[in-house]
Structures are given as structure tokens and as C-alpha cells.
A = this chain, B = another copy of it.
């Protein structure tokens, strides 16, 4: 780190992930890294992390995988393992006061007054002091039954166009920061009318899921992600909105879909 202002600004562009707050998910097709969001969904992250530490998800299958929608996994429904996990109170939104800050992206999309980023997570807010994480592709969400407070261990990844209608009524608690293509390659379990059902033996199973801190040093995937609070990131948003490249021979509307602004990761090791 240099004392020079310019260098500092460069270093601030990236943020190291906390290995105690990062999960390595090994699938048959490759490795995936997830950043958890305890600052937004503390109880869900706590429960999920505890389960991961106990190797709870190793061998669990993605049993509900709908192309363009979600890839959902968990222990066999109704099994002792399934029933052993406590039910969680929903953490679908949180209160913000006027000191709360984030990097704004867009006002008045279909679903929210304002959208933006905080700590790399896409979120939205209303004018009544509420904010919530949004269901962008790659978000990790706890599944639930009909009751608000019925989630326990089953989770899904969003694998298609953001189902923003689920915002606020589900608990988003992490996001994929590496290896999203392997999530996209999870075997679909839903079929269309006229097709044979998929044999459950073909379902994709989780090989292993570990907190990065518990992964042997030589197997860790160490990442940095864009610091969405940095001036550099704010500049990138401005450029993305303006579409100055010659490719845009006609300029699109100067708007940004919060789920269409990829947050970059880079590999440190």
C-alpha cells in the first residue's frame, strides 16, 4: 500500500473476501465460491454456516431445478436430518435510517423506489425506511413453506431472469462470486409436458460444501471482489449508463437494471 492518493484509490477498487464468510461449494462439474451476507441476514447466515461446518449438505441433491428460475437443494424432505434443523424467522428486509448509505444505481424500476449496491450485494429500498436484497441471478436464498417463518436448511440459487416478485418475502443470504457457470450446469429436474420425468438418480448432488476457512490452504480459492463503495465503481456505473462505445450507434435509455450490472471478482490465488 502506498501513501500516494492515486494508488490508494486503485487498491480500494477491490475488497478481499473474508474466508470465514465465504463458502466453497464443490459440484461434480466444478467449484463454486459463495460470499455470505451476515450484515443483511445474520440468523440465516449463522444457521447456514453452522450446517456447512457440520458437513450437513454433503451429498444433498438439487431436487428442484427449473431452467431460467432456480436450482434448489436440501436434505431429503421429511427425513430426520431435514427435521433436525430449526425454523428461522424471515429476514427479508431491514430498516434503514438516514445515516445508512449505499451506492445508488437506479430510481423507479418496476419493483422499487431505488436500487443500488452495498458490499457487492444488489439491493433495493423504498421511501419508508426499508431496504432488501434483490433476487438477481446468482443470489443464494433460503427456501421456505407457505409461512413466512418456515425456512430451515433448503436453499436455492437464482439461475435466470431475476424473480424480483420474490423480493422481501424470502431471505437472500449470499451470492455466487465464482463459478456461476457450474451452477448453470446443474441438471434440470423439471420437464415439459410430453417428456419423461428425470430419474432422481440423475439429480446433481453436492460433492462437498465447506467454509473457506476450513478448506486446506492449498485448495482454497482466494478472491477479491469489486468494492461497490469505491469511487472507481461509481465511475464504472456512470460509464455503463452512458454506453459511450461506438458500438452504441444509437444510445439506449440512460438506465441500469440492478441485476444487469455484474460485480467483478478476481483470483488472488
Interface, chain A (partner B; CB < 8 A): 67-69, 106, 109-111, 136-138, 146-148, 159-169, 178, 180-181, 184-185, 188, 192-195, 243, 246-250, 252-253, 255, 257, 259-260, 262, 264-268
Contact = CB atoms under 8 A, between A and B. Distances in A.
Contacts of A148: 249-250
B67 A184 contact: yes
B146 A194 contact: no
A246 B246 CA distance: 49
B249 A169 contact: yes
A180 to B, nearest CB: 5
B181 A110 contact: no
A93 to B, nearest CB: 10
A267 B194 contact: yes
Name A's interface SS.
loop
Contacts of A252: 111, 164-169
Nearest to A138: B68
B110 A106 contact: yes
Contacts of A69: 262
A168 B250 contact: yes
A266 B67 contact: no
A110 B109 contact: yes
A163 B255 CA distance: 11
A119 B69 CA distance: 22
B194 A68 contact: no
A155 to B, nearest CB: 16
A260 B164 contact: yes
A181 B66 CA distance: 9
Nearest to A136: B161
A192 B178 contact: yes
Contacts of A168: 250, 252
Contacts of A268: 194
